[in-house]
Structure 1
Amino acid sequence: MSHLAILPFLLPIISGLLLMLPPLQNSIQRQRIFSVASGVVLVIASAWLLAVTAEQGTQLYALGNWQAPYGIVLVVDPLASLLLLLTSILCLAVLMYACAGEDQTGMYYHTLILLLVAGVNGAFMTGDLFNLFVCFEILLIASYALLIHGGGKQKTQASLHYVILNLVGSSIFLFALGMLYATLGTLNIADMARRLHQLPSDDLILVQAAGMMLLIVFGLKSAMLPLHFWLARTYSSASAPVAAMFAIMTKVGIYSIFRVHTVIFGEHAGELANMAQSWLWPIALLTLALGSIGALASANLRLLTANMVIVSVGTLLIGAALGRADASAAAFYYLLHTTLVSAAMFLIADLVARQRGKAGDRFVAARCMRQRDLLGGLYFIAAIAMVGMPPLSGFIGKALLLQAAQTFAEMVWIWPVLLIASLFGIIALSRAGTTLFWRVSGQCNGEGDKAASIQILAIVLLLACSPLLTLFAGPITDYARQAADVLHDPALSVDALLPSLSLGAE
């Protein structure tokens, strides 16, 4: 059993704890060097794990060598390895950006970011629902502190609402886990899928209720309609690197929907097969539509970016609603794209706000920015990618989702909503760019804070991933399809994860 599989979870925890000890705690420069170095090592470990998974298949790591379904097992399949690398790249960029001074606005910034990453990575790797709950709590506790990092009335109000909603979600999660364990006798995801076929008909209604409760919990985490109302205010009030890091958190909810409602309650679940699909269809389309309207109505760039995150949630839910491997593969590719581009746009909004004086990133006339050409170029690339225009990765992701709609009914519902939402995004981002970079009051006299080189480098790192996703679209989409095939095939997502039971059956 290789210990490589546990590194993406263990490394950020150990690094975060070491940052709280002398001599690192006493020097902000040492903290920065150590945290960025940890981010680089995390990217290398995640990339290495992805290569191993691509070559050898799903990696299992049984903690304490207690085998599934009785022990705690980490499962690194193609989907998990892809998302681990995504999280690692995002973490590195956020840590780099914060080194320009954001990490001095409060205590333990680097530690909290690394603990948040540990929770996210653990959620992607865990093989059972109880440890998914545990990882949710780890990332949520870190996010509570990060959201209020630096203080301020607006952050405090947004943090209070965020904490209350997630406490409610955690309570529902626990009730659902209790119902599932009482009826199925296990919380291991693969074992639950196996035992679902042996369930007495009298218990089906309890499992169905618990499954729908999980959909509510994951819907709250992913900000799907009507549980989306917290996201725009929360993300727009957070500091820029924190908002950028939060771009991955809605994807944890989306991932959980794919994992639970495909492996456990997918097409092979007998009487409970695809029980969430009839709900996901209208929710996905309405989330997409409402996010687009919110983008048009946004008063500043951070709020616009937050609403575009809601648009991306609706787009990803379309892939979940279709419930086929090709649609899931398209959603996974689009997930990579939208997470990185949304994070970059939050960072760009921060630099724009710093150079426009009291106007901030609001869509009003303001003084000329000191680095208008540089920031305008970065904004243009991010906007093109975000709305899905060629030749960047957003276009490929949306094209794959449109292609996944096979029947006439699917095309009638998906194509108009997705294309009109893209049009609304073009209008909103075009208006934003025109106002921010062209409506200038007074002369350009070089005032305002100049962006640090490491901040620009962090944004370039995130934006460079979009053309790379386009340039290597072939192998990346092939790997995404492999991830989707593993998710949808019980022989790979269930039987292969329970070797002890399989050997016993033989």
Structure 2
Amino acid sequence: MSSWPHWMIMPVVLPLLCGALLILLERNRPAWAPWLSVASLLALVGLSTHLLIAADSGEIGVYLLSNWRAPFGIVLVLDRLSALMLLLSNLLGLACALHALGGDAQRGAHFHALLQFQLMGLNGAFLTGDLFNLFVFFEVLLIASYGLLLHGGGAARLRAAIHYVSFNLAASALFLIAVGLLYGLTGTLNMADLALRVAALEAEQLLLAKSAALLLLVVFSVKAALLPLYFWLPATYASASSSVAALFALMTKVGIYAIARVFTLIFGASAGLMAEPAGSWLAILALATLVLGSLGALAAEHLRGQIAYLLVASAGTLLLAIGLGSPGALAAALSYLPGSTQACAALFLLAGQLSAARGSQADALQAAPFAYGRQRLGLLFFIAAIIVGGLPPLSGFIGKALLLQASQTHALMAWVWAGVLLSSLIVLLALARAGSTLFWASDDAPVPCSGPAPGVAAQLSCYALLALAIASGVLAGPLYRYASASAAQLYAPQAYIDAVLAQDSAPARFDVRKEMREAGLSKGGAQ
């Protein structure tokens, strides 16, 4: 896949080393730390772009850690889907780091180090080809997210953190139980090897295997915010600082990625009696999540809370596409994913700037005077609302239209059309109400503001995210072709399995035994 085989591990190694170095710099050279973090993230974006171009060839890259062949050693695997998620996560990380230069990073210790460790966990989760190491990377990103959520302190953040940590600790315990069951049944946790062994399980083992599969679905659904497991999300995201909440916009996508990966590779159509253990329940719950997330956005009293519910609705849309179980539906979801994620992240950044500009009213959905920036923030909010609301011609509309088209032959077609169209209408009403209240009913006035006007870097981060979201619609053709190829790759898992299990260890650079013989050394020592 590349002339230098170690490119694949760099998205994990680079933020790990940078995070460790940042902890030292924050003590001795604090002024250097933000710029090192931004430089590292620029490198990660460039690296992710390189890996995306390499993955677009259709070749599946496999990296053997410690040079042990699968399934005996740990592997990293790069295909089109993991490359897309890598680029998306590092772009969001860069935007959040730039926005945090405006003040969020100074409200507590180790912001940039925690950001790097969070990206290490995210990148590792997207690349790993091993279920246990998926658990490990989940824990890395979760531990970093606990610190980021509490960054800056405050009673609201502490309350939200207690619920967030409790939910995720329970999910981690279930994850370990599921992993233990699968290892006991199959003797492996390599996902490619599991795909072969799960399909060959005997009848008396099926009940335990289905229990493990459903436990995994519950765990991933906690991360993905699927009904009824999303109640922790609105308060958690609404209480975080704007830079952190924007990065958290990607957190639900990790669970969605895990569901798409595991339930097409291990429990997909080729798994025999273990195929699709959730049946149609995933699609039904996703529809309910989509509608209730939209209603939550309509009922929200603060802009951050509204955006959090919009993320729940977005997760419902993506999980619905996965639940429909066809390459066309998954391609629609992957076309919708980048633009909606970037637009929601941009809205969180805008909410932080709006809170600073409105003083004591912060982001409450009620009319209040602006100290500065009403027209600029209003225009940016309008653009983001068009994308999130699914209005043509931008990516939100295109993704939902493709999803409706892909559902035409499904048994739940009528429910899918009704749910998607009804939720889109509710979201448009919610965003129209918020926009008219915040910007149309307000005016500029010399009122005290709770923070300084955003600097160039903070404004640039918002502009960049919205520009990327708009580009997802302008470049809908190339993006859909990539998404279709990614979905086809997921629904034809044999190529993934063959690539992982056939990857040979790299030949040793030095033959130690030969050198010992030539040096005249034997088992007993020098002759």
Counterpart-to-counterpart distance in 2, 1:363 and 1:175:
43
Q: How many angstroms does 1:498 deviate by? A: 1.1
Match of 2:441 in 1: 439
Within 2, Cα distance between the matches of 1:400 and 1:483? 15
Q: TM-score w.r.t. structure 1 length?
A: 0.96
1:422-452 CA-to-partner distances (Å, cap 9, x unmatched) read: 11011000000111112237x6237533221
Partner of 1:194: 196
Q: Which residue of 2 aligns with 1:225?
A: 227
> What does residue 499 of structure 1 align with?
502
1:29 to 24, 28, 31: 31
What pairs up with 1:188-267 in 2 under 5 angstroms? 188-267=190-269
1:147 matched to which residue of 2?
A: 149
Aligned to 1:15: 18
Which amino acid letter does the alignment assign opposite residue 287 of structure 1? Answer: T
Structure 2 unmatched runs, 5+ = 505-527
Aligned pairs (5 A) from 1:98-497: 98-407=100-409, 409-440=411-442, 444-445=445-446, 448=449, 449-497=452-500
Contact 1:277 1:322 in 2 (8 A): no
The answer to whether the 8 A contact 1:352-1:369 is kept is no
Count, aligned residues:
499
Tell me the CA shift for residue 56 of structure 1: 5.8
Query: Any idea what the Cα deviations from partners look like across 1:48-73, whole Å, max 9, x if unmatched?
Result: 01111113611111001111111000
Residue ranges of structure 1 left out of the alignment (5+ in a row): 502-506
Letter in 1 for 2:461: A
- Deviation track 1:237-258 (CA, whole Å, cap 9, x = no partner) reads 0110110011111000000000
1:373-417 alpha-carbon deviations (Å, 9 max, x no partner)? 111111111111111111211111111111111226332011111
Q: Is the 8 A contact 1:277 1:323 kept in 2?
A: no
Q: Equivalent residue of 2:458, what SS?
A: helix
Amino acid of the structure 2 residue aligned with 1:70: F
Larger Rg: 2
CA distance in 1, matches of 2:200, 2:410: 36
Amino acid at match of 1:186: T
Q: Secondary structure at the match of 1:60?
A: strand
8 Å contact 1:223–1:250 — kept in the other structure?
yes
AA at the equivalent of 2:455 = A
Looking at structure 2, the residues matched to 9 and 461 of structure 1 have their Cα atoms a distance apart, in angstroms, of: 24
CA contact (8 A) 2:264 2:493 kept: no
Q: Is the 8 A contact 1:225 1:286 kept in 2?
A: yes
Give the Cα–Cα distance (whole angstroms) in 2 for the partners of residues 76 and 371 of structure 1: 43
Q: TM-score, normalised by structure 2?
A: 0.93
8 Å CA contact 1:384–1:392 kept in 2: the answer is yes
Question: Contact 2:199 / 2:274 at 8 angstroms: preserved in 1?
Answer: no
| 1:68 maps onto 2:67 in alignment | no
Q: 1:361 and 1:256 mapped to 2: Cα distance?
A: 33
Bigger mean CA deviation after superposition, 478-487 or 296-305: 478-487
Task: Determine what percentage of the aligned residue pairs are the same residue.
Answer: 47
Residue identity matched to 2:469: S
Structure 2 residue identity aligned to 1:235: Y
User: Once the 2 structures are TM-superposed, how far is the Cα of residue 294 of structure 1 from its aligned partner?
Assistant: 0.4
CA contact (8 A) 2:338 2:469 kept: no
Contact 1:58–1:77 under 8 Å retained in 2: yes
How far apart, CA to CA, are the structure 2 residues paired with 1:45 and 1:286?
Answer: 38
> Cα distance, 1:496 vs. partner?
2.5
Report the aligned-residue RMSD. Answer: 1.4
Match of 1:504 in 2: none
Taking the aligned partners of 1:329 and 1:335, their CA distance within structure 2 comes to 10
CA contact (8 A) 2:318 2:337 kept: yes
Q: Equivalents in 1 of 2:5, 2:68: separation in Å?
A: 15
Distance in structure 2 (CA, Å) of the matches to 1:50 and 1:271: 35
| CA distance in 2 between partners of 1:346 and 1:492 (Å) | 39
SS class of match (2:57): helix
Q: Partners in 2 of 1:180 and 1:266 — Cα distance?
A: 16
